[in-house]
């Protein structure tokens, strides 16, 4: 029995990340043993390369503003482990984490006897399902961990499926082409459950149409031609279908995430006959906050969890607008299994100075290796991330900005230095 949250968290974080078999049979077996907690609430299921966390937050805030009790399941965390599972604006408590760890531990041991390892992500997903069932949520916004088709979350039958966008990431598991990545994410489409998506690559439209038609699912592709008057500063303003919206999350990509949330909610309102107003949508979008996504401190330090090529491109596009004319310094650390060479290439062409560093995490790349991949004329590497961060941030001149990026795990560490909880 776990007595403290540290013990429970330690157990969860040391569970194997991947099971011996890549299928949903193990997860289906466990939810059946738990009497199907995932069937106790309505859900919205989100997949996509980037933007899942922000879109999930928009959906949660809109629904909670309309008076619904909304569960949210996202990954990874930026500030605290408990962030992965929440209801409305509150994370699962330490005591509740311990309670569900104690409920699931004997089950995982029983599965081990049958030579079945319930993985890290499966345990977290089960924990979220049990918590949402026990708390009697009206809706749960469930974010896919990786891919879609064989993801542990894919045992749910949602009200609506959502795919944010398709870009290159996790190619080892999902394949090397956008089609193979898309097909995996389209694995979340269920019979007669509508799909809303923000994909813009028209080459993928036929694939989306084919898969949804096969499942008799309505397909809604967001039309970004209806977006006008975009103004990206520390707050983001835009018009969509002639209505004005304001976001406290910065960036062009956030406009797309917000439009995706608007369309998802409008469709949900129809199919579930919800009493949900345009004011709920406006206020929900406006009050959404998401740590580590183009988060600005003291007007001159930005932390952004961009961890793949699509994320870096979105970060650069926003930074060029928000900090036009500023001298940009960038501090970068990344996981070694990411496409860091391409990410560095983008940063080489954008930053005025580029600094590479590393932090305590088993999957991280070495600073010196990243340094060697860069062709920047003003580059250096530093193994002590705290030292270089404090040096760079304390020496910023009036026209200079420091952007810290490359990994959500990395900016989580940096954020601790900026926010004294």
CATH number of 248's domain: 3.40.1190.10
Q: Of 287, 304, 323, which marks where a domain is finished?
A: 287
- Cα 131 from chain centre: 20
Convert 265-277 to b/e letters by CB count within 10 Å (16 or more is b).
bbbbbeeeebebe
Same domain, 256 and 299: no
Same domain, 67 and 11: yes
Phi/psi class of residue 170: alpha, beta or left (left: φ > 0; alpha: ψ in -120 to 50)? left
pLDDT per residue as tens digits for the range 102-150: 999 999 999 988 888 899 999 999 999 999 999 999 999 999 998 889 9
Same domain, 306 and 406: yes
Which whole number is the average pLDDT over 295-302? 93
- Cα 201 from chain centre: 20
Same domain, 153 and 257: yes
Q: Which pLDDT band, with edges at 50, 70 and 90, does 20 fall under?
A: low
Secondary element (H or E) of residue 379: strand 379-382
pLDDT at 19 over 90: no
Which whole number is the average pLDDT over 50-73? 96
Six token digits for residue 405: 């990026």
Q: Are 400 and 327 in contact (CB under 8 A)?
A: yes
- What pLDDT was estimated at residue 262? 98
CATH number of 358's domain: 3.90.190.20
pLDDT at 299 over 70: yes
DSSP string covering 106-169, please? Answer: HHHHHHHHTT----HHHHHHHHHHHHHHHTT-SEEEEE-SSSSTT-GGGG---SEEEE----S-
Convert 79-99 to b/e letters by CB count within 10 Å (16 or more is b).
eebbbbbbbeeebbebebbbb
Same domain, 204 and 101: yes
Q: Which pLDDT band, with edges at 50, 70 and 90, does 21 fall under?
A: low
Query: Mean pLDDT over all residues of the chain?
Result: 93
Same domain, 281 and 326: no
Q: Which pLDDT band, with edges at 50, 70 and 90, does 283 fall under?
A: very high
pLDDT per residue as tens digits for the range 145-171: 988 899 999 999 999 999 998 876 544
Beta bridge partners of 196: 162, 220
Same domain, 138 and 271: yes
Q: Which pLDDT band, with edges at 50, 70 and 90, does 175 fall under?
A: low
In this structure, is the dihedral angle defined by the CA atoms of residues 350, 355, 356 and 358, taken in order, positive or negative?
A: negative
pLDDT per residue as tens digits for the range 304-361: 999 889 899 989 999 999 999 999 999 999 999 888 999 999 999 999 999 999 999 8
321: closest CA among 408, 254, 231? 231
Euclidean distance between CA atoms 38 and 41, whole angstroms? 7
42: closest CA among 215, 275, 271? 271
Q: Of 265, 287, 309, which marks where a domain is finished?
A: 287
- What pLDDT was estimated at residue 319? 95
Same domain, 133 and 224: yes
**Could you list the residue range(s) of the whole structural domain that residue 240 is in?**
5-287
Same domain, 180 and 204: yes
Euclidean distance between CA atoms 293 and 79, whole angstroms? 12
In this structure, is the dihedral angle defined by the CA atoms of residues 176, 177, 180 and 185, taken in order, positive or negative?
A: positive
Of all residues in the chain, what percent carry a pLDDT higher than 90? 80
Q: Are 13 and 75 in contact (CB under 8 A)?
A: no
Six token digits for residue 369: 């290796």
Q: Of 287, 316, 347, which marks where a domain is finished?
A: 287
Euclidean distance between CA atoms 197 and 199, whole angstroms? 6
Six token digits for residue 371: 């340094």
Euclidean distance between CA atoms 310 and 117, whole angstroms? 33
DSSP string covering 343-359, please? Answer: HHHHHHTT-SEEEEE--
Of all residues in the chain, what percent carry a pLDDT higher than 70? 97
- What pLDDT was estimated at residue 169? 55
Which whole number is the average pLDDT over 211-216? 98
Q: What is the DSSP letter of 304?
A: E
pTM equals 0.89
- What pLDDT was estimated at residue 176? 65
Total domain count, the chain: 2
pLDDT at 212 over 90: yes
Six token digits for residue 307: 């961890």
- What pLDDT was estimated at residue 116? 87
Same domain, 57 and 39: yes
Same domain, 318 and 273: no
């Amino acid at each position: 029995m776990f007595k403290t949250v540290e013990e429970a968290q330690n157990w969860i974080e040391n569970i194997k990340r991947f099971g011996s078999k890549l299928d949903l049979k193990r997860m289906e077996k466990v939810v059946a043993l738990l009497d199907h907690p995932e069937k106790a609430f309505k859900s919205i299921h989100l997949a996509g390369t980037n933007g899942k966390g922000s879109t999930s937050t928009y959906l949660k805030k809109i629904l909670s503003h309309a008076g619904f009790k909304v569960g949210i399941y996202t990954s990874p965390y930026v500030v605290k482990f408990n962030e992965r599972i929440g209801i409305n604006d509150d994370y699962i408590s330490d005591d509740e984490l311990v309670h569900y760890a104690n409920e699931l531990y004997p089950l995982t041991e029983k599965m081990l006897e049958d030579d079945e390892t319930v993985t890290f992500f499966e345990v977290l997903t089960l924990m979220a399902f049990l918590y949402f069932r026990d708390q009697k949520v009206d809706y749960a916004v469930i974010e896919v961990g990786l891919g879609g088709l064989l993801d542990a979350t894919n045992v749910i039958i949602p009200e609506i499926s959502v795919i944010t966008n398709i870009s290159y990431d996790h190619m080892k598991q999902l394949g090397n082409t956008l089609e193979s990545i898309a097909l995996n994410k389209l694995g979340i489409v269920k019979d007669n459950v509508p799909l809303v998506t923000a994909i813009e690559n028209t080459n993928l439209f036929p694939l989306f149409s084919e898969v949804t038609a096969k499942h008799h699912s309505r397909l809604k592709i967001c039309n970004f031609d209806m977006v006008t008057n975009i103004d990206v500063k520390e707050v983001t303003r835009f018009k969509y279908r002639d209505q004005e919206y304001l976001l406290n999350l910065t960036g062009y990509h956030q406009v797309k995430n917000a439009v995706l949330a608007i369309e998802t909610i409008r469709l949900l309102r129809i199919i579930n006959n919800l009493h949900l107003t345009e004011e709920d949508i406006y206020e929900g979008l406006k009050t959404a906050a998401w740590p580590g996504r183009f988060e600005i401190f003291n007007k001159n330090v930005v932390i952004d969890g961009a961890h793949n090529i699509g994320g870096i491109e979105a970060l650069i596009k926003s930074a060029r607008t928000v900090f036009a004319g500023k001298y940009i310094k960038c501090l970068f650390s990344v996981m070694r299994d990411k496409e860091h060479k391409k990410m560095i290439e983008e940063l080489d062409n954008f930053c005025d100075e580029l600094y590479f560093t590393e932090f305590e995490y088993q999957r991280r790349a070495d600073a010196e290796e990243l340094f060697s991949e860069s062709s920047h004329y003003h580059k250096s590497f530093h193994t002590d991330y705290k030292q270089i961060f404090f040096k760079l941030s304390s020496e910023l001149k009036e026209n200079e900005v420091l952007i810290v990026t490359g990994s959500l795990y990395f900016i989580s560490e940096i954020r601790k230095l900026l926010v004294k909880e």
